[in-house]
Each structure stands twice: as C-alpha cells, then as structure tokens.
Amino acid sequence: MRPSPEQPAFADGSGVFIVRNAASGTAVVRADPADTFATRLPAAIVHELAEGEDLAEVVAGAMSSDAPPAVLGVYGGDGSVSRMAGLARQHGRPLLVMPGGTFNHFARSADLVDVDAAIDALQAGTTIEVSAIEVRADEGEPILALNAVSVGTYPELIDERDRRRAALGKWLGGIVAAWRTLRGAESLTIVREGRRAQVWSVFVGVGRNDPQRVATMQRETLGESTLDVRIHHARGSRVRAMASLAFGKRTAAVLRAVGLMPPRSDVERLVVEEFEMTVRLEEGHPSVFVHDGELEEQSPGGFTLRCVAVPRAVTVFASPLPGR
C-alpha cells in the first residue's frame, strides 16, 4: 500500500463528511472524539446521527449539496462502518473508518486502533482497496458486508439480545441472551446444491481466515476477494454450538483446550467466490441472518441467501503495513 497520487492529503478535514453514530459502542467506555475532530480536522463536517435517522438519506443530502464531500467518514461500530462502506461504493468516494463500536472488527483488521490512527492515514493519503461480500436474501436489495454473514446460532443470539436491550442494556442483555440461547438453541436445515444438512451455524467470511475457527467475524486480510465458508454441522451439543461463536484467538484456544470447541470433523470449510443456500425453518424459529453484527429479519419459514465476493469494493484510508 502506498499514498494514492490522485488522493490529496486532507490535512484540516476539508472535503470530509463524517457521520457519528453515538448509539454505537454503548457497551464500552470510550473517550468522546469531538475534541479530536475539532483539533485535527477543524474543516470537516461532522453529523451526529439522531435516533431513527436514516444514514443513506443523510449521505444523499450531503452528496446533493453545493459542495459534495470528497471523503465519507464514519465513527461507529461494524454495522455503521459496513453501511457507510456501501454508500461510499455507491457514491464513488473513499471511506474513512474511525472505530467507535464495541468490537470494531473491521477497524482492527485494518490496524485502525483509534481515531488518531484513522486521521493519520487520512492526512497521509494512504489507502487500500478492500474486498467485500455482496449478500442478497431472496429478491431483496443487495447489502455490502465487510466482515462476515451468518445464519444460525449467532443471529439468534443477536436477535435475543436486541429484544432485551431496551430493558437490560446491551451488556446485561447480551449475557441473558447468551444464557437463553444456550438453553434453547435448535439446529436449522440448509439446502445447498440439492443437499440437505442440519447445522448449528454457517459463517461466510471475506478472505481466508484461521482454519481453527468457526466464527470468522474478524477478517485476516483486506484485499483477498474470496469467501471462506464454515458450516458447523449439528452433531454436537448446544454448549459446543455456543462455544463455536468465540472469535478471539485466545478465547478459542482456551475453549479448545478444555474440549468445548467442536471437532474439525463437525465443521465443513469451503473457499469459493460465490455461495448460495436455502434456509428452512420450523414454526417459531426466528427467520434472521446477520451481516457485520446487523440483524436482518426475513419472512417466516425460511429464505434463500446468496453471497458473492466483490474485489476492490471500496477504497479505505489505512496505515501502511508490511505485506498488505
């Protein structure tokens, strides 16, 4: 990666439009970035995303103004980053990613550890072309995902957590959701290439990932335009189904050491450019999938999900790293 000759260094933030999602990262204590924006990017326009406000409409308004931005930036979690990535691709603008969520999977993959690191990359003008997943459920609109798409146990956990967030908050709601999901998790049926399978989960990640993992929620490469698919067949217990959601290397290693991670024989791996499956659900089973932590509800009974690898999907400001 090197400075792009066509990209100016936006030293004071001129031409930069940043949307800040204050609702992201409520499960962690994080310093307010307002002072950093004011000091390092005084000329940038920062828009605070209000509750119920549509990100696409906000960006469309900025792009239709007399001085449309040259850079689209986002401060938020993985869901906000992925939505803005899709808009940056749509409008042909480079993306400035500033971590402001709970896990910040994509920002960590790009070595954007904090707001200052992102601004350093912006001011240096260093960018990378990032691959992504385009996912479509049935005949719905395509969605751009930067990290992973999933069906099964993980989406059900997110669904349960979101329903409890208003009363318990994200952190406590997550604990209660994990417990309830562990007690009541049920396998689901998928059909792929005419074959049926009972599975706990399916993860479709961008680029080849650690072969030891099931939940490939954080990508390991940025440019590789392949899909790394993990199909966790329902041959083991609910405990193993939940343990398989561990995405941190250390956590996964500990769970593997105590025998809670599923054996390799239970996890089917595919490295492909396209992946399609039909999800069939029993009555009462939530009809949902997740992309980068964002829950998408579908018609009851099931749906068909198609994922396609998209090379060079979006240009992202990122610090240069050896071998990237």
The model's pLDDT over 109-132, given as tens digits with 9 standing for 90+, comes to 999 999 999 999 999 999 999 999
Q: 191: phi > 0 → left, psi -120 to 50 → alpha, else beta; which?
A: beta
Q: Tell which residue, 98, 53, 71, has the closest CA to residue 11.
A: 71
Answer whether 73's CB lies under 8 Å from 37's CB.
no
- Kindly state the average pLDDT of the residues 64-88: 96
In the chain, where are the structural domains located?
A: 16-125, 145-312
Asked if pLDDT for residue 154 goes beyond 90, the answer is no
Strands 195-206 vs 188-192: parallel, antiparallel or unpaired:
antiparallel
Q: Of all helices (H) and strands (E), which one includes residue 41?
A: none
Answer whether 65's CB lies under 8 Å from 91's CB.
no
Percent of the chain with pLDDT over 70: 80
Sign, Cα dihedral of 46, 59, 111, 219: positive
Q: Rounded CA gap, 112 and 299, in Å?
A: 37
- Kindly state the average pLDDT of the residues 140-150: 96
What is the band of 298 on the pLDDT scale with cuts at 50, 70, 90?
very high
Answer whether 70's CB lies under 8 Å from 88's CB.
no
pTM of the predicted model, to two decimals? 0.86
Q: Please give the CATH topology (third level) of the domain spanning 16-125.
A: Rossmann fold (3.40.50)
What is the band of 40 on the pLDDT scale with cuts at 50, 70, 90?
very high
Which of 31-35, 137-141, 209-213, 261-265 shows the highest mean pLDDT? 137-141
Q: What integer pLDDT is reported at residue 2 of this predicted model?
A: 46
- Kindly state the average pLDDT of the residues 241-254: 68
122, two tokens: 């912006």
Beta carbons within 10 angstroms of residue 236's beta carbon: 18
Q: Rounded CA gap, 145 and 192, in Å?
A: 21
For the chain, the residue count is 324
Q: What integer pLDDT is reported at residue 19 of this predicted model?
A: 98
Q: What integer pLDDT is reported at residue 32 of this predicted model?
A: 86
171, two tokens: 């952190």
| Tokens 């409890």, located at residue | 164
Q: What integer pLDDT is reported at residue 241 of this predicted model?
A: 73
Asked if pLDDT for residue 30 goes beyond 70, the answer is no
The CATH class that applies to domain 145-312 reads: mainly beta
Strand partners, 269: 230
Q: Rounded CA gap, 294 and 289, in Å?
A: 8
Q: Which has the minimum average pLDDT: 63-77, 93-107, 146-160?
A: 146-160
Q: Which has the minimum average pLDDT: 9-13, 221-225, 276-280?
A: 9-13
Answer whether 255's CB lies under 8 Å from 211's CB.
no
What is the band of 247 on the pLDDT scale with cuts at 50, 70, 90?
low
What is the band of 61 on the pLDDT scale with cuts at 50, 70, 90?
very high
